[in-house]
């Protein structure tokens, strides 16, 4: 009975020390790290963003509770280096970003009483938000949000054209970043017009981003 027992013991030891278990260990470490980041973000009374690349979802959360969920129709990632799990929003760039008009009070004569009525201040709704914009985050990451065209077979080819043109443009930026030896990773996210606008509307300044579902 001694020899068979030794054989089983040695086989189990080799199986446990096999390099094939390394990916599982790395996966557990990453999941633990993500749980730590989620717990840290949920401890603050501030809204944060969770981007799930695997499920193609964007979650707006506070205290661990989902406030709003957005769908990603199509996505792609291009760049140099490995995606981190946490980032901070630095700026949002949009060509057609809404701008509030500066309201100046009317000229008032010396002895004239101030008007009793107040001026109406410009206000915006979700429909006024852009559906194409870029989120600039720290550590060299940017997220490009573009509109998905649907409902018209004449507009459908625009989705393919936009994807190819976007990848071509970002490939040139990737080459330039490689030559300059600067970090560059870009996530291309295609969303419905309504979701893209709603995400822009709801996104808080300097929001914390947690990225999960990485390949």
Q: Which domains does the chain have, with CATH numbers?
A: 28-98+127-212 (2.40.440.10)
DSSP SS3 for 207: coil
* pLDDT per residue of the chain (215 residues) written in tens, 0 to 9: 444 444 444 444 554 445 556 667 877 777 788 888 888 888 989 999 999 999 999 999 999 999 999 999 988 888 877 888 899 999 999 887 776 544 455 565 556 565 554 444 456 788 889 999 999 999 989 999 998 877 666 556 665 566 666 666 666 666 666 666 667 788 999 999 999 999 999 999 999 999 998 76
209: which 2 tokens?
């981003």
66-78 residues labelled b (16+ CB within 10 A) or e (exposed) = eeeebebbeeebb
- One DSSP character per residue, 109-135 reads -TTPPPPSSPPPPP---GGGS-SSEEE
For the stretch 126-143, pLDDT in tens is: 888 999 999 999 998 999
What pTM was computed for the model?
A: 0.69
Specify whether the backbone of 63 is left (phi greater than 0), alpha (psi in -120 to 50) or beta. Answer: left
């Amino acid at each position: 009975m001694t020899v068979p027992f030794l054989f089983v013991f040695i086989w189990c030891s080799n199986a446990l020390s096999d390099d094939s278990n390394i990916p599982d260990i790395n996966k557990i470490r990453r999941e633990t790290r993500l749980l730590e980041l989620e717990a840290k973000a949920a401890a603050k009374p501030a809204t944060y963003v969770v981007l799930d690349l695997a499920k193609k979802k964007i979650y707006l959360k506070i205290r661990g509770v989902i406030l709003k969920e957005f769908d990603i129709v199509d996505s792609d990632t291009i760049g140099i280096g490995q995606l981190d799990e946490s980032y901070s929003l630095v700026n949002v760039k949009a060509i057609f970003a809404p701008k509030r008009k500066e309201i100046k009070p009317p000229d008032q004569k010396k002895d004239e009483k101030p008007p009793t009525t107040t001026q109406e201040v410009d206000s915006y709704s979700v429909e006024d938000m852009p559906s194409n914009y870029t989120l600039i985050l720290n550590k060299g990451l940017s997220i490009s949000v573009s509109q998905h065209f649907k409902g018209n077979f004449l507009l459908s080819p625009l989705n393919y054209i936009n994807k190819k043109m976007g990848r071509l443009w970002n490939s040139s930026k990737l080459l330039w970043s490689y030559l300059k030896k600067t970090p560059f990773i870009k996530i291309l996210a295609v969303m419905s017009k309504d979701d893209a606008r709603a995400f822009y509307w709801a996104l808080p300044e300097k929001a914390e981003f947690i990225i999960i579902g990485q390949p």
